Amino acid sequence: MRTSALPASWYGDPEIHARERRAIWGREWLVFAPAARLAFPGRYVAGAIAGWPIFVIVDPDGSLRGFHNVCAHRAGPIVADGHGSSGNLVCRYHGWAYEWDGSLRKARDFGDGPIPDGLRLPPIRVERWRNLVWVCLDGEAPPLGEALGGFADQCAEFPMEAFQFTHEQVRVLACNWKTYADNYLEGYHIPMVHPELSREIDLRRYSVEVFARDGYCLHSAPPRDGAANAGRWLFRYPNLALNVYSDGMNVERIFPDGPDRTLVVYEYFFRDPDDPANEEAVKLSGVTLDQDQAICEAVQRNLDAGVYRSGPLSVKHEGALAWFQSRLEQAIG
């Protein structure tokens, strides 16, 4: 386990980013969308994960299908980024059409001349767990259930399927994705960066427990008023923060958008979508996000400045960072 932080150069080096694309983003199971966005035939969600453009679509039988959003002709996209509906798989560039299994059906008006056999949309793995759709670009990875292990057990008592997806916040941060993930993994900064949050929780009892075998950690922060802590704050390697309560949940995903930009996608689910308190909860989490964004962007500027190489990690507060950074270092070799 690491006792010092990763070298500053890892937070922006294009070569490290290229290695992470293959060893992390091309290999792990990742939450891709709320299942509510993929509830009917034809519904799709598309987007790039660390420079891998992919989409998931519901076929006419209601099954989830996932593909790289890259046509076999000259790499055009099949669907536009975002979410919507499409009754077929037709490339938006020259109109080649694909079967639902991804094989080429028709090369529109191609004329004479050979088309090699076996052209297709490259498939990706898709699985649904509870009310979330996950993807994995690695054909050799274990099935999702096996990969989740004890992480799934942590959520078992919460009625996630009863929660409705209502709000979304998307942020682009001027920092490497690890700068933001590191920040998520410790509560050490809370008194300095989040004064509102520190008034609500008993920071002396803030703890982060690491479950290394199953690749996740569990934050606990008892509320100051002594109320029972009814929720779970989980972080799953490499990029998922899941806060789940009895009456709702937040899903926060952290992606690289190149070596020096990070996409944070925050999705909110509530048991009662009409409860006026929901707006307030989303607003408050936006304030916390603003505070984390500001400190992460300031840290990134300093990492880039060339005066800092690495510093010590606190055993008391930064054990989850030590785990996360060690695992990452191992993954990219």
What stretches of 175-318 show up as alpha helix (H) in DSSP?
Answer: 177-184, 190-193, 195-200, 277-305
How far apart CA 235 and CA 253 sit, in angstroms, is 10
Contact 220, 202 (CB under 8 A): no
How far apart CA 91 and CA 278 sit, in angstroms, is 40
Number of Cβ atoms within 10 Å of the Cβ of 83: 17
Partner whose binding site includes residue 292, from ligand FES, Fe ion, none (CB under 5 to 8 Å by kind): Fe ion
The residues, ordered by sequence, that sit 6+ positions from 89 with a Cβ below 8 Å of its Cβ are 57, 67, 78, 97, 98, 99, 100, 102, 121
Q: Based on the shown chain and the rule CB under 6 A, indicate whether residue 41 belongs to the binding site for ligand FES.
A: no
Applying CB under 6 A, which of residues 7, 41, 42, 76 lies at the interface with ligand FES?
76
How far apart CA 195 and CA 183 sit, in angstroms, is 16
Nearer to ligand FES, 100 or 211 (CB): 100
Nearer to ligand FES, 113 or 276 (CB): 113
Q: Based on the shown chain and the rule CB under 6 A, indicate whether residue 67 belongs to the binding site for ligand FES.
A: no
Taking alpha carbons only, the member of 331, 127, 330, 327 closest to residue 213 is 327
- Among the listed ranges 50-58, 68-76, 159-167, 267-275, the one in contact with ligand FES (CB under 6 A) is 68-76
Nearer to Fe ion, 252 or 292 (CB): 292
* Smallest distance from Fe ion to CB 249, Å: 18
The residues, ordered by sequence, that sit 6+ positions from 41 with a Cβ below 8 Å of its Cβ are 58, 59, 60, 61, 62
Applying CB under 6 A, which of residues 19, 27, 94, 128 lies at the interface with ligand FES?
94
Nearer to ligand FES, 55 or 96 (CB): 96
Q: Interaction with Fe ion in 4-63: which residues (CB under 5 A)?
A: none
Tokens of 140: 């050799």
Applying CB under 6 A, which of residues 4, 39, 82, 93 lies at the interface with ligand FES?
93
* Smallest distance from Fe ion to CB 292, Å: 4
Q: Based on the shown chain and the rule CB under 6 A, indicate whether residue 303 belongs to the binding site for ligand FES.
A: no
User: What 3-state class would DSSP assign to 96?
Assistant: coil
Partner whose binding site includes residue 19, from Fe ion, ligand FES, none (CB under 5 to 8 Å by kind): none
Applying CB under 6 A, which of residues 5, 91, 132, 190 lies at the interface with ligand FES?
91
- Among the listed ranges 34-42, 142-150, 151-159, 289-297, the one in contact with Fe ion (CB under 5 A) is 289-297
Q: Based on the shown chain and the rule CB under 6 A, indicate whether residue 216 belongs to the binding site for ligand FES.
A: no
In 1-131, beta strands by DSSP E: 30-34, 43-49, 52-58, 64-68, 82-85, 89-90, 97-98, 104-106, 123-129
Taking alpha carbons only, the member of 237, 197, 246, 239 closest to residue 217 is 237
Applying CB under 6 A, which of residues 19, 22, 27, 73 lies at the interface with ligand FES?
73
Q: What would the x/- binding string for Fe ion be over residues 290 to 329, using CB under 5 A?
A: --x-------------------------------------
Cα angle, residue 22 at apex, residues 19 and 26 outer, rounded to 5°: 150
Partner whose binding site includes residue 171, from ligand FES, Fe ion, none (CB under 5 to 8 Å by kind): none
Provide the phi-psi class of 113: left if phi over 0, else alpha when psi is between -120 and 50, else beta. Answer: left
Partner whose binding site includes residue 308, from Fe ion, ligand FES, none (CB under 5 to 8 Å by kind): none
Interface with ligand FES: number of residues (CB under 6 A)? 10
Residue ranges that bind ligand FES, judged by CB under 6 A: 71, 73-76, 91, 93-96
